[in-house]
Structure 1
Amino acid sequence: MAKPNKKAPGRSVDVFCSGCNQKLYRYKKGGNGALVKCFKERISEDYTVTPCICPGCGVTFARDTLIRGTPAFKMIGGKVRMK
């Protein structure tokens, strides 16, 4: 499979915790669909202290994984929302 594009998309979204509305990331998202995964190289601002754990409520919102050979966070359904 092909790796994700090296050039980050121009569109940035804010990623929030669904439970406590804590801001988690500022992410360069490509495409129009739901946020299923976050490639680590596209995260422009990280507001978390521990990876994949919300600093506000302590809920695990993602899993650390490799997608197409690139480090990424795979989001757990319903735990995050984006604006």
Structure 2
Amino acid sequence: MAKPNKKGPVQTVDIVCGKCKAMLFKYRKGGKGALVKCFIERIVNDFTLTPCCCPNCHQVFARETLIRGTPAYKIIGGKARMK
């Protein structure tokens, strides 16, 4: 399968915790669909202290995985939202 485009989209979205609304990432997301995965190379600003864990309420919101050979965070349903 094809790898994701490295440069990716220009538009950024804010990814916040679904529970406490703390800021998690600024992410270059492509398309209009739901937030399912975040490719690590597309994260502009990372506000988490430990990977996949909210810095405020310490809830695990994603799992680290490889998607199409590229490291990514697979979002657990409803644990993170985008603005």
TM-score normalised to structure 1 length: 0.98
Post-superposition Cα deviations, 1:27-68, rounded to whole Å, max 9, x if no partner, equal 000011001000000000000000000011010000000000
Over the matched positions of the two proteins, sequence identity in percent amounts to 65
Task: Identify unmatched segments of 5+ residues in structure 2.
Answer: none
Q: Which runs of 4+ in 1 moved over 3 A?
A: none
Structure 1 partner of 2:64: 64
CA RMSD of aligned residues (A): 0.5
Please list, as runs of the form range in 1=range in 2, the aligned pairs for 1:1-83 lying within 5 A after superposition.
1-83=1-83
CA distance in 2, matches of 1:21, 1:7: 28
CA distance in 1, matches of 2:42, 2:6: 9
Count residues in correspondence: 83
TM-score normalised to structure 2 length: 0.98
CA distance in 2, matches of 1:16, 1:5: 24
